[in-house]
Structure 1
Amino acid sequence: MTYLLTRFLPLAGLGLLLSSAAHAQQYQPTATGLRVSTDSLTVEVQFYSPEIVRVLKQPRAKETAKKSLVVVQAPAPGKLKYSAKNGQVTISSPTTQVVVNEKTGQVSFRTAQGQPLLSEQALGSRFTAKKDLNTATYRVRQLFQLAPGEAVYGLGQHQDGHLNYRGQEVLLKQKNLDIALPVLHSSRGYGVLWDNYSTTKFTDAAAGTVFDSEIGDCVDYYLLNGQGTADGVVARYRQLTGQAPMFPRWTLGFWQSKERYRSQNETVGVVEKYRALGVPLDGIVQDWQYWGEDNDLWNDMAFNNPGFPNPQAMLDRVHALHAHQMISIWPSFGRKSKPYQELASKDMLFDFITWPRTPHVKVYDAFDPAARDIYWKYLNQGIFKLGMDAWWMDATEPDQLQPFDTDDDNETALGSFRKMRNAYPLVTTGGVYEHQRQATSDKRVFILTRSAFAGQQRNGTMTWSGDVDSRWDVLAKQIPAALSLSMAGLPYWNCDIGGFFPNGQYPKGVKDPAFQELFTRWQQFAAFTPMMRAHGEGTPREIYQFGERGSWAFDAQAKYIDLRYRLLPYLYSNMWSVTSRAGTLLRALPMDFPQDAKVADLSTEYLFGPAFLVRPVTEAQYVNRPDKNVPVPADFSQTKNVEVYLPTGASWVDFWTGKRQAGGQTVRRETPIDVLPLYVRAGSVLPLGPRQQYTGEKDGAPLEIRVYPGANGEFTLYEDENDNYNYEKGAFATIRLRWNDKARQLTFYNRAGSFTGMQQARTFRVILVDEQHGTGVGADDAPAKEVKYAGKQTSVKL
């Protein structure tokens, strides 16, 4: 930094440094990075960690301070080094180099070894002056140059079937079915968070890659250096925007819902029917109009409907049946509701048409913290104090039914709706999460929501894919939609089993074998997503509507509900990995096999946690129905099959047969109606729980530990108190299990940690999987070695 040294040099040497000193004054080191002033721009580079770098660009004529709604981490630069040469200034952390052109403000990023990560285009920052609610601002664009062959993922959830977004154009604007999440994830091991809340167009074309936002006082983005790994990118994103808290363990069980249960007797009756049938169930959902059928009372947050005369008794009965209840809430209110009247009196309602289509239902301004306080006040008084377990926050986009350009002039507490719109789901879910956390630490927050934004994982949210149609092509598109959201950093996603709208395709609904086949295959997919939840309108979705035990649709569905419950130890341990290690449960194959070119844009299969390769069946195979109005029976006379690609770099064991196959090949897998192609990575250590009717029913039962030989492997089993926040204070325990393939030995290491109610001693049944034993849903007759474990290291030879 020669410009700082000149004042200490003798006059004789000063002339030698004048030119370099004058050059160096183009940039200034700051506490977190550096600041460069060009003829027209101010460019700031701020290190939030050695791997996270913020770039902030503003026209020199209009510099403003910006507080991010998304970022929760404070800058922590660590040790930085500066150098300047040939009009370029370089600032380096131990892992990341940032190079700024002092004349143009162009920024590029490299690894510590100087390998290119990402570069802006020269003169790629563009500001177009405009007015927003009579305030001077800009349309902002930033152009980047990606590398040839580079794949890019993320950007939220879009129902377009794409996984790799090279060569694509995506409109980032919240609406039902589409989730705008301005996070780009590159196959080169870095990510970009574009911190802007207005409608934004992402385009990748020959001319370059651009984020183009309708409103912005500045260009503001973060480079996330994952140091070459996809998990590293996600970890940096969560470090910057907030970690995902633990959900209650019971949320991993099976959920039943429909549009809608019309009385408390019907709601409770569904739970009672499941218990009588012996089909597991943990969650029941009460959808809309429990407040009454008058839209002027829309979302009154009270049980005004005469079909719900005693909501406390309803919840008490559901809890007595060892189930939990979720209820639908909205960001909008009818004019006769108490929340509407208070919010209207304080000018906290927007003036646009939402659903239901009436001018008397209005959306509240969730950007105003005082409005969020009011929202929770009524939610707490009318519902939460009854003991409600979870929230279905519907239409958090929020839903808008008139042309968008007329909505945008609404004024929020933080500026125009045009400027803030995409962040609405973040602030409205955040209001409920923060208030419930303040109310109690005994019940974990669980929010199911239709929309999301960057940072929302910290609000205890599970996103669902919206009101999708009941079609095979829609089912197929759920897979890349889910994987894109996961690679953008949000770990929890699910969808309506069977699709929300069946009537156009299946007017006979659940009585149509064609719908039964679609629903059954969709449910198999859902068993390997973070939430397994049946829901939809137009036809009932309860398992007993599909026939009796012994019928193909009932039995195939029951099989996967049972399997879901056996997977609970695996699922809950993976949930802990999400919370403690910024893990990802729904894993696009490029995350784990970046060197396998065949998976770069493979959207038909995925990993579910570290062990499972899942290939959902997304086409009709057994019901050929030429006329949708004339149902025909299923024809199982010939067993169908699908192609499955087994990624290179691992060998794979068929979950149902135990057969092991090498990676790097495409195989044909037979698909009877009750078989989802499912493979386990060799080396996996898989914990399975007992069959049970609800989560926690048999916590004292032995756990089955399956070992899939062919490689070394390990798994960390996690346990805690299941539905409070004591884990944040260290009240949990882990057991590390490690398989040594050469020695054929499984080691249970010393238990780490403890919690109230922990089993001090337990039994494990250890099974070595082969083609004769230890496969499928159950392995009760498989040869197993019984291990008595009391918290101290022990090993077993297989």
Structure 2
Amino acid sequence: ATMAASPAWWPLVVCLGAAVNVGWKKEEIFAPLPGGGQVGMSTRGPSAFRVRILGPGDNRGPIFSPMVGPDVEDALFTHDTAYTAGVRITSRVGALEVTYDGQMHLFSADGRLITSSDPLDASESTVTFSSYKGALYGRGASPDDAQVLSEDSSTPQVCNTATYAPYYYSTDGYSALGVVEVPDGQRLPVSYQSTGSKIVWRHRGPFDLYLMPAKLLREGTEAYMALTGSPRVPPRYAFGFIASRWGWEDRQYIEDTVSKFREGRYPIDGIVFDFEWFTTETDYPFTPPGKSSYQDFGYNPALLDAPAQQFAQLADKNIRVGVIRKPRLGNTGFLDMARSKGWVLQAAEPGGAWPPDIANSYAQKRCLDFTKPEVRDWYSHQIEHYYEDGISFWWNDEGESDYFTYYWWNVAEVQALRLKDSVRRFYSLNRAFTPGMARLGATVWTGDIEPTWKDLQRTPGMMLNWVLAGAPYVACDIGGFTRESDGTLLTRWMQVGSFMPTMRVHSTYQAKPHFPWLWGESAGNAMRRALEMRYRLVPFHYSLAHALYRKHKLWIRPLLIDWSSDSETWSLVGQWMDGELLVAPITREDSQVDVYLPSGLWYPLAASQVTPGESAPVSGPRRIQRGGGFDEVPVFAPAGAVVPLAPVVQSTADLPGGPLEVQVYAGADGSFELVEDDGETIAYETGQVRTTAFVWSDRQRRLTWTVQGYLLAPGPRSFSKLFVTMVSSDGVRHSDTYLLGVVGAIDMSDESRFV
């Protein structure tokens, strides 16, 4: 009773503030352990407690981990010196205490006991918490468990098609992140396992634990994002479509491909080159000495004979260029130099996909150790000229040589960009991730997946599990990478991709490229519609990305975050929330629709690219099972949703392209914040954005708005006009088009009019 009651005085502390001496602190407080050693207790970031278990004579500081944001300001806390059973600290999110018998207790802000540990022993390599059959979310996923949201364990590692993190959210009411000092190759020597009544952390070496009280998964995820660092907003072009392949042939092939996208009215913003852009041979068969003729940092003249000129010509067509990079060296001279300086990892790249084939690892003794600052300095100078030439972003592949290779590799790439440009946004796409990479501007794709219906069906679950594990921007090889795809499968995958954070196709050099016009008229038309929907969603998605950066609110998320009391949502992985939109794409070869709608009133999204001719609302909870059309993507908006849509454009550089359509769905009040900025620089981080707050009053049938922010006047990519589409049980009604002023309102009650 004493333990549970004490945190309840936290509101009193907040109310009295400076009027009383409450002992606000940021410095670590220590609690002795009965078997020797001590526990360091403090806060980290706004919402986490940091726990450090130290043996006798262990005077180390906190473990520096790339997973924890270095610039996060720590919350103040109080040290309750009146507590006589041990040591207790209290912050605004709850309380943490260690009793003199070595037990640790975590409390919520209202004084509820969340979990207790077994007595802590600094000589042991385990920490055990009580659990009340808490379900665990956020571990990451592989192809084996991509379609399962909750699992009992995690063994952190990175691999082609798999990533696991030392993190979970427990429905007991808290999140936890475990940190150790040194990776073991592509694994991290820390893990957890739940039995239902106990959650056991096991670790090797020094161990820090971050605990975040959170009643709901939504709150736990927001606390986790705050701890690992705010995910940077990608440049606006990354919200469009990117076409990649292995096998770009020559300069003419590039120009012809881009022309076919533009002439066929298939919207696109970027292309990505594989190996062929910088070399005429792959380095897969190379032995440790490498080859003296191999170039690591040049161009292949067969493809790029005048790189800067070619990139500029592509930019004139609103096409950005990304290129593949490998975290290793192939040139003998570079390798000799790197080895002489101790810059090369002993570990190699695991072979194959999941599970990792360690026995057939490749690039032996050729992978750079990016944890070393001097390696990052050297590497950044080798690649800085690419930014000057006109390359926009990196596609980082095969970096699973160490658990943190991708993180430090991206740090080197950011460093290279800053050598040339102090304000441009950094952007990269990586084959695996570790928590914290998103704060750099690094995104992830799900690896070398197969062109099968099974891998298509795994894609939503893989995305959702990786989002919960700390990677909010997830892409995939749309259509599958490893061999030939087919038109129906590719079309369905494109429809899925249009509602993913990043939309990108990819294929191997032995397969037909995943370019829409190559797959027949019917498939090509359906893919065009999916691309058009992607581009209509840009203002919606871009605004949600800003909300993720500012408020840590997940843009893409499983339904259970919004309907945690509805057991039907707990295991749903074939559908997801995209902002307020419920997306349930068709991923079955027989084109069957299978949608679960939670409680509430739902409308098919009123966009012809998705649900042609449908507008009648449906009341949930309800499951819909029926046949689906070839070009149909089941997407639903709840009553009260406010959804801004752009006109169909051929690239994000063509925005605004006309008036903004603001769709409102009758039956409830609603709101949405449209955020616009320059789309290219980090100026948004200092508040240089234009925010339009839309508010829908259902009783008045009126949409009002207020514009605030640095850019009150519309910029060249900002919307200056709008019209309203109101969707109700009576059908669909459109207003006239009006200027989007600093304040305004449109009345949709009878005849639409500007107020």
Matched, 1:460 2:455: no
Verify the 8 A CA contact 1:300 1:333 in the aligned structure 2. Answer: yes
CA 1:686 to 1:165, structure 2 compared with 1: closer, same or farther past 3 Å?
A: closer
Verify the 8 A CA contact 2:434 2:470 in the aligned structure 1. Answer: no
Letter in 2 for 1:560: A
Matched, 1:365 2:323: no
**3-state SS, counterpart of residue 80 of structure 1:** strand
Partners of 1:651 and 1:683 lie apart in 2 by 9
Verify the 8 A CA contact 1:81 1:91 in the aligned structure 2. Answer: yes
CA 1:668 to 1:162, structure 2 compared with 1: closer, same or farther past 3 Å?
A: same
Q: Equivalent of 2:563, from 581, 587, 593?
A: 593
Verify the 8 A CA contact 1:349 1:363 in the aligned structure 2. Answer: yes
> Which residue in 2 is equivalent to 1:636?
none
Please report how far the alpha carbon of residue 371 of structure 1 lies from its aligned counterpart in structure 2 after TM superposition: 0.1
Partners of 2:524 and 2:570 lie apart in 1 by 37
Verify the 8 A CA contact 1:258 1:540 in the aligned structure 2. Answer: no
Q: How does 1:412-491 map to 2 (within 5 A)?
A: 421-491=402-472
Q: Equivalent of 1:555, from 504, 508, 525?
A: 525
**3-state SS, counterpart of residue 651 of structure 2:** coil
Please report how far the alpha carbon of residue 61 of structure 1 lies from its aligned counterpart in structure 2 after TM superposition: 4.9
Please report how far the alpha carbon of residue 442 of structure 1 lies from its aligned counterpart in structure 2 after TM superposition: 4.3
Partners of 1:761 and 1:109 lie apart in 2 by 48
Matched, 1:528 2:524: no
Listed one character per residue, the Cα deviations across residues 706-736 of structure 1 (whole Å, up to 9, x for unaligned) are 1111111100111111111222233210000
> Which residue in 2 is equivalent to 1:14?
none
- Computed over aligned residues only, the root mean square deviation of the Cα atoms, in angstroms, reads 2.6
CA 1:206 to 1:731, structure 2 compared with 1: closer, same or farther past 3 Å?
A: closer
TM-score by length of 1: 0.81
Matched, 1:318 2:352: no
TM-score by length of 2: 0.86
Please report how far the alpha carbon of residue 202 of structure 1 lies from its aligned counterpart in structure 2 after TM superposition: 2.9
Partners of 1:674 and 1:251 lie apart in 2 by 24
CA 1:375 to 1:698, structure 2 compared with 1: closer, same or farther past 3 Å?
A: same
Task: Point out the more displaced range, 575-584 or 183-192.
Answer: 183-192
Matched, 1:236 2:248: no
Partners of 1:164 and 1:157 lie apart in 2 by 8
**3-state SS, counterpart of residue 643 of structure 1:** strand
Verify the 8 A CA contact 1:613 1:679 in the aligned structure 2. Answer: yes
Q: Can you give the 5+ residue segments of structure 1 that lack an aligned partner in the other structure? A: 1-28, 129-139, 399-420, 503-508, 622-639, 775-781
Verify the 8 A CA contact 2:665 2:727 in the aligned structure 1. Answer: yes
CA 1:547 to 1:335, structure 2 compared with 1: closer, same or farther past 3 Å?
A: closer
Partners of 1:735 and 1:30 lie apart in 2 by 38
Q: Equivalent of 2:266, from 275, 279, 284?
A: 279
> Which residue in 1 is equivalent to 2:623?
666
Matched, 1:220 2:208: yes
Partners of 2:166 and 2:277 lie apart in 1 by 36
Verify the 8 A CA contact 2:449 2:477 in the aligned structure 1. Answer: yes
**3-state SS, counterpart of residue 374 of structure 2:** helix
Verify the 8 A CA contact 1:716 1:737 in the aligned structure 2. Answer: yes
Letter in 1 for 2:494: Q
Verify the 8 A CA contact 2:536 2:646 in the aligned structure 1. Answer: yes
**3-state SS, counterpart of residue 239 of structure 1:** helix
Partners of 2:409 and 2:477 lie apart in 1 by 22
> Which residue in 1 is equivalent to 2:323?
327
Partners of 1:195 and 1:670 lie apart in 2 by 48
**3-state SS, counterpart of residue 486 of structure 1:** helix
Verify the 8 A CA contact 2:449 2:455 in the aligned structure 1. Answer: yes
Matched, 1:617 2:586: yes
Partners of 2:95 and 2:653 lie apart in 1 by 50
Listed one character per residue, the Cα deviations across residues 620-675 of structure 1 (whole Å, up to 9, x for unaligned) are 11xxxxxxxxxxxxxxxxxx533211112x32111221221122221224311111
Verify the 8 A CA contact 1:748 1:793 in the aligned structure 2. Answer: yes
Verify the 8 A CA contact 2:500 2:556 in the aligned structure 1. Answer: yes
Partners of 2:459 and 2:120 lie apart in 1 by 35
Verify the 8 A CA contact 2:688 2:709 in the aligned structure 1. Answer: no
Verify the 8 A CA contact 1:167 1:205 in the aligned structure 2. Answer: no
Matched, 1:653 2:603: yes
Partners of 2:34 and 2:418 lie apart in 1 by 46
Listed one character per residue, the Cα deviations across residues 209-229 of structure 1 (whole Å, up to 9, x for unaligned) are 22323x322x21111233x24
Please report how far the alpha carbon of residue 445 of structure 1 lies from its aligned counterpart in structure 2 after TM superposition: 0.8
Matched, 1:209 2:199: yes
Verify the 8 A CA contact 1:467 1:500 in the aligned structure 2. Answer: yes
Please report how far the alpha carbon of residue 63 of structure 1 lies from its aligned counterpart in structure 2 after TM superposition: 4.3
Listed one character per residue, the Cα deviations across residues 543-562 of structure 1 (whole Å, up to 9, x for unaligned) are 345344xx221111111001
> Which residue in 2 is equivalent to 1:762?
720
Listed one character per residue, the Cα deviations across residues 2-22 of structure 1 (whole Å, up to 9, x for unaligned) are xxxxxxxxxxxxxxxxxxxxx
Partners of 1:489 and 1:559 lie apart in 2 by 31
CA 1:684 to 1:166, structure 2 compared with 1: closer, same or farther past 3 Å?
A: closer
Partners of 2:148 and 2:84 lie apart in 1 by 37
Letter in 1 for 2:531: I
**3-state SS, counterpart of residue 743 of structure 2:** coil
Verify the 8 A CA contact 1:47 1:75 in the aligned structure 2. Answer: no
Letter in 1 for 2:507: G
Letter in 1 for 2:720: R
Matched, 1:743 2:700: yes
Letter in 1 for 2:701: R
> Which residue in 2 is equivalent to 1:786?
737
Partners of 1:126 and 1:733 lie apart in 2 by 52
CA 1:353 to 1:53, structure 2 compared with 1: closer, same or farther past 3 Å?
A: closer
Listed one character per residue, the Cα deviations across residues 228-270 of structure 1 (whole Å, up to 9, x for unaligned) are 2433323322322221122111111111111131323323321
Verify the 8 A CA contact 1:298 1:361 in the aligned structure 2. Answer: no
> Which residue in 1 is equivalent to 2:127?
142
CA 1:157 to 1:273, structure 2 compared with 1: closer, same or farther past 3 Å?
A: same
Partners of 1:473 and 1:86 lie apart in 2 by 58
Q: Equivalent of 1:349, from 344, 367, 382?
A: 344
Partners of 1:101 and 1:67 lie apart in 2 by 24
Partners of 1:434 and 1:378 lie apart in 2 by 11
Listed one character per residue, the Cα deviations across residues 86-138 of structure 1 (whole Å, up to 9, x for unaligned) are 7444332233011212122x212111222132332x1365756xxxxxxxxxx
Letter in 2 for 1:543: F
Q: Equivalent of 2:578, from 571, 591, 608?
A: 608
Q: Equivalent of 1:118, from 111, 115, 120?
A: 115
What percent identity do the matched residue pairs reach? 23
Please report how far the alpha carbon of residue 484 of structure 1 lies from its aligned counterpart in structure 2 after TM superposition: 1.5
Task: Point out the more displaced range, 297-306 or 269-278.
Answer: 297-306
CA 1:300 to 1:30, structure 2 compared with 1: closer, same or farther past 3 Å?
A: closer
Please report how far the alpha carbon of residue 486 of structure 1 lies from its aligned counterpart in structure 2 after TM superposition: 1.4
CA 1:165 to 1:589, structure 2 compared with 1: closer, same or farther past 3 Å?
A: closer
Listed one character per residue, the Cα deviations across residues 481-508 of structure 1 (whole Å, up to 9, x for unaligned) are 2112212232111111011123xxxxxx
Verify the 8 A CA contact 2:191 2:201 in the aligned structure 1. Answer: yes
**3-state SS, counterpart of residue 95 of structure 2:** strand
Matched, 1:687 2:644: yes
Partners of 1:464 and 1:727 lie apart in 2 by 25
Q: Equivalent of 2:379, from 371, 375, 384?
A: 375
Q: Can you give the 5+ residue segments of structure 2 that lack an aligned partner in the other structure? A: 1-24, 284-290, 352-360, 606-610, 750-755
Please report how far the alpha carbon of residue 287 of structure 1 lies from its aligned counterpart in structure 2 after TM superposition: 0.9
Task: Point out the more displaced range, 785-794 or 570-579.
Answer: 785-794
> Which residue in 1 is equivalent to 2:50?
54
Please report how far the alpha carbon of residue 389 of structure 1 lies from its aligned counterpart in structure 2 after TM superposition: 0.5
Listed one character per residue, the Cα deviations across residues 687-710 of structure 1 (whole Å, up to 9, x for unaligned) are 111111111214251111111111
Please report how far the alpha carbon of residue 762 of structure 1 lies from its aligned counterpart in structure 2 after TM superposition: 2.0
CA 1:347 to 1:366, structure 2 compared with 1: closer, same or farther past 3 Å?
A: same
> Which residue in 1 is equivalent to 2:387?
384
Partners of 1:75 and 1:572 lie apart in 2 by 26
CA 1:184 to 1:701, structure 2 compared with 1: closer, same or farther past 3 Å?
A: same
**3-state SS, counterpart of residue 543 of structure 2:** helix
> Which residue in 2 is equivalent to 1:416?
none
> Which residue in 2 is equivalent to 1:778?
none
CA 1:54 to 1:641, structure 2 compared with 1: closer, same or farther past 3 Å?
A: same
Letter in 2 for 1:654: P
Please report how far the alpha carbon of residue 315 of structure 1 lies from its aligned counterpart in structure 2 after TM superposition: 0.8
Matched, 1:540 2:518: no
Letter in 1 for 2:584: R
Verify the 8 A CA contact 1:151 1:165 in the aligned structure 2. Answer: no
Partners of 1:234 and 1:282 lie apart in 2 by 31
Partners of 1:483 and 1:525 lie apart in 2 by 13
